Structures are given as C-alpha cells and as structure tokens.
Structure 1
Amino acid sequence: MKIDFLTLFPEMFTGVLSSSILGQAQADGRITFQVTDFRSYTENKHNKVDDYPYGGGAGMVLTPQPLFDAVDDIKQADEPRVILMCPQGEPLTQSKAEELSTEDQLIFVCGHYEGYDERIRTHLVTDELSIGDFVLTGGELPAMVTADSVTRLLPGVLGNEASAVEDSFSTGLLEHPHYTRPADFRGMEVPEVLRSGHHARIEAWRREEAIKRTAERRPELLESAALSEHERTWAADYLEKIRAEKNE
C-alpha cells in the first residue's frame, strides 16, 4: 500500500511516520508513506493556496487548483481513494479502517483555514472522514490517526496476526480485560480462570467480559453486534441490572 498526505505542514508528519509500528512497517516494505506540500503546485504568482470566499464571510478558503494538480501528479492507482479529513465527514470506525486497508493507494487531503472550495468535495475526493464531533486547526492529525488505524491492519504489520482481529470494535464489541504478571499485585489478583490453562473456559470468560464491558460503556453497540440468542438475552438482562443499580 502507498499512503500519500497532501499538506501545507509536512514537518508535522516526520516523527509519527518514522516511529513505532508505522516506521517499522515502512522499513519492512509493507507500506510507503509520502508527504507532499501542495503549495508547490500552486500557479498563483504569490504562492498562495487560499483566497477570500465568494459572498463574503470570515476566514479564507482553499482553492481547488493546487489540490487537483497534486492528486493528478501523485496518484498511482487508477482510482485511488482520495480522503478529505473534515468534521462534516463520515465518522471513522474500525469497519471503515478495514475497508480502506484493502486499497492500493490512499491520498489524504489535509486542509487548513476556514474550509475547502466545494468543488474539491464534489469532484476530487472519494471519501470525507471525521475522527469526532470537534474542530481542529487542520487535517494533519486526523489523517495520521486514520493512517495508523489502517496500517496496523495490513498483513504482517502486527507481530501477532490475531491482535487486530480481537481489537475493540472488530467483533462489534469492546475488547475484554487483559492481565499480565504478577498474579497478585498489592492484593489485586488476576482472575483465577485466566490462570487455569483451560482454553475453553478462558474464551468463554473473555466473551462474557466483552459483552459486559460493552453494555457498561457503549450499550448502543449491542444492537448490531453478532450475538447468539442466548448472549442477546443475557446482555439484555445485564443492561437491566445496570439501569436498576443506577436508579437505586
């Protein structure tokens, strides 16, 4: 996979893309990152990439020409996914990251200023994504977050291939609790079942704990989670128990 970032601040990406799992994935040849300053594509004699909005109003708007020309120049796939990071976009989810991880090339458009010329949205990008209902100073941080969520799903990137499969949201549920040594830390003990060596019991415990944690923290996820009839009944009873405890 190749991931491109179109930005006015390429220096923001240096540490993130060269460190930890992202850096190792690139060193292993599993992914290629390229950061491009799209100001270098402007035809404006003053090297500007923004202008005042038609109709008036506060702030400046990114002009379409530099971004269209930059995408034309860097695209390698016939139809790369061109992703605009924007608060108005579709929320980034694990399933969206899984979908994007199957592509050959992703191009992230990281904007600044008041907004984008609407022709960028309607004729250049294929996806608009948001990492939350809040506004940042630019699209660089959301683009890095999205790239991280996609990269870790690529084959061979994580040391244990099961890690990504068992992540929160990958199964429709939040992930179960984890423990490691020591078995007893300041009187806080690891659950006995995890020390039993009985794999069937351990898997059953983890499944139950994942359902419980989801019910406690993100109950709306249970509606679409892949649960058996028995699990769905048990989850409904557990939710009722939670509500009753809150009302006491």
Structure 2
Amino acid sequence: MRFSIITLFRELIEPFFETSLLKRAIEKKLISVEIINLRDFGVGKHRKVDDYPYGLSSGMILMCEPLKKALDSIEGENKYVVLTSPSGVLLKQDLVETNLSKKEHIVIIAGRYKGIDQRFIDKYVDLEISIGDFILQGGEIPALIIVETVSRFVKGVLHSIDSAENDSFSKGFLDSPKYTRPKVFEGMEVPEILLSGNHKKIEEYEEYQSLKITYKRRPDLLKNKDLTKRQKEIINKIKSEEKNGKT
C-alpha cells in the first residue's frame, strides 16, 4: 500500500512515521509514505500557493496550479486522490474497509486555510473526507488518521488481521469492554465469565456487552441496522433493564 501526502507542513507529518507500528510497516516495506511539500510548487519567486477568493468569502484559498504540479510530481498510476475537508463524507470504518483499504495508492491532500479552488476538486479529487463536525487548523491530522486506519488492513502491519476486523465499528457496533491481568485491581474483579474458558458463553457475553455499550453511547449506529433475531432480543432486554433501573 502506497500513501502520498501533499502538505504545506511536512514537519507535522514526518514524526508520526518515526515510531510504533507504522515505522515497522515502512521498514518492512508493507506500506510506503511519501510527503510532498506543496510550497515547492508555488508560483513566482515567493512560491505563492494561495490567494484571495472571488466573491464575498474571507480567508485564503489554495490555488489550482501548485496543487496540480504537486500531484503531477507523484509517479505511478492508479492514484486515488483524497482531500481532507470539513465538507467531505464522514470517515467511518465501513468506508475504510470497503473502499480505501482496497486502493493501491492513496494521495491525500491536506487542506489548509479556507479551502482549495473548486475547479481542482472537480477535476482531480476522487473523494473528500471529513473526520468529524469540527474545524482544525489544517488537514494534516486527518491525513495521518486516514493513513493509520487504512494501514491496519494491510496484511502484516498488525500481528493479526483479526485485530482490525474485530475492532470497534468493524461489525457496526462498539467493542465490548476489555480486561487483562491482574484478575483483581483495587478490589475490582475481571468478570468471571471471561475466565471460564467457555468460548460460546464468552462470545455471548461479549456480544451482549457490545450491543449494550452501543445502545447507551452510540444509538445512532443501531438505526436502520439489519439486526439478527438474537441481537433484537438483546436490545429488548437492555431496554427492559434500563426501564427497571438496572445498568
């Protein structure tokens, strides 16, 4: 899997890939990350990359020409161009798993200032992505989030691909609570069922806890969800417990 990131602030990007799993993934050549400095393709002696917008908008807009030159400098075919933007589709696990993780080469343009010229978006951008309903200084952090979440589906990056496939959201729900040693911490014990060795009972328990935490914290994930008969029974039980004052 190949990633290319076009940014005005490469110093915000580089340290992220100098540690942990992504560093090892790069060293093992499981993924590659190329950082392109947009300023290198600026116009004129001052390498200008932005200008005032037409119309009544305020702020500065990234210009088409530097962006096009930066994009053209990236070698290879099958480039899938992503723009980080508050106007983009919301980044969700399903988008990562069914779309982004299937691409060979993702080019991420880290948006800045008030945005970029719409003409460039219309002609060269395949997908605009937002990471949430809030505003950041720029698109560098969203770009890093995209690289990390997509890389998790590259074989060999994680110790087991099951780790990615069983993450929260991968099955459409939040994950169940997790525990590790010691069995008792400050008087709080690990749920007995998790120590039983009964895989079927553990699976049922974790499914129940997953649905419970999803129902309480992210009920929106359950809307229009095609639940199984068992899942519907669990949700009804959770609602009944809630009605009776149980947690």
Place the TM-score, normalised by the shorter chain, in its bin: over 0.9
Q: Measure, in 2, the Cα distance between the counterparts of 1:244 and 1:194.
A: 26
- Give the match's secondary structure for 1:112: coil
* Shift, 1:46, TM fit: 2.6
Corresponding position: 1:97 with 2:96: yes
Match of 1:209 in 2: 209
CA deviation vs aligned residue, 1:169-227 (integer Å, no higher than 9, x gap): 00111101111111111210011111111111111111111111111111121234453
The correspondence of residues 40-119 of structure 1 with structure 2, limited to 5 A, is 40-78=40-78, 80-98=79-97, 99-119=99-119
Indicate conservation of the 8 Å contact 2:82/2:125, yes or no: yes
- C-alpha spacing 1:244/1:51, structure 2 compared with 1 (3 Å): farther
Q: Measure, in 2, the Cα distance between the counterparts of 1:211 and 1:159.
A: 26
Indicate conservation of the 8 Å contact 1:21/1:152, yes or no: no
- C-alpha spacing 1:120/1:240, structure 2 compared with 1 (3 Å): farther
Q: Measure, in 1, the Cα distance between the counterparts of 2:195 and 2:27.
A: 37
Indicate conservation of the 8 Å contact 1:183/1:189, yes or no: yes
Paired AA for residue 60 in structure 2? M
Q: Measure, in 1, the Cα distance between the counterparts of 2:189 and 2:96.
A: 36
Indicate conservation of the 8 Å contact 1:5/1:35, yes or no: yes
Match of 2:31 in 1: 31
- Give the match's secondary structure for 1:205: helix
Normalised TM-score (structure 1): 0.93
The runs of 5 or more residues in structure 2 that have no matched partner are none
Q: Measure, in 2, the Cα distance between the counterparts of 1:136 and 1:244.
A: 43
* Shift, 1:152, TM fit: 1.3
* Shift, 1:240, TM fit: 5.0
Corresponding position: 1:227 with 2:227: yes
Q: Measure, in 1, the Cα distance between the counterparts of 2:224 and 2:44.
A: 50
Indicate conservation of the 8 Å contact 2:208/2:234, yes or no: no
Across the two proteins, how many residue pairs are aligned to each other? 245
- Give the match's secondary structure for 2:14: helix
Give me the identity figure in percent.
Answer: 39
* Shift, 1:239, TM fit: 3.0
- C-alpha spacing 1:224/1:175, structure 2 compared with 1 (3 Å): farther
Indicate conservation of the 8 Å contact 1:173/1:225, yes or no: no
Match of 1:174 in 2: 174
Q: Measure, in 2, the Cα distance between the counterparts of 1:53 and 1:216.
A: 44
Q: Measure, in 2, the Cα distance between the counterparts of 1:81 and 1:240.
A: 47
Indicate conservation of the 8 Å contact 1:171/1:225, yes or no: no
Q: Measure, in 2, the Cα distance between the counterparts of 1:55 and 1:214.
A: 45
* Shift, 1:238, TM fit: 1.7
The correspondence of residues 113-152 of structure 1 with structure 2, limited to 5 A, is 113-152=113-152
Match of 1:155 in 2: 155
Q: Measure, in 2, the Cα distance between the counterparts of 1:83 and 1:134.
A: 19
Indicate conservation of the 8 Å contact 2:211/2:234, yes or no: no
Q: Measure, in 2, the Cα distance between the counterparts of 1:147 and 1:103.
A: 12
Indicate conservation of the 8 Å contact 2:7/2:35, yes or no: yes
* Shift, 1:73, TM fit: 2.0
Provide the alpha-carbon RMSD of the alignment: 1.7
Runs of 4+ in 1 over 4 A off after TM superposition: 243-246
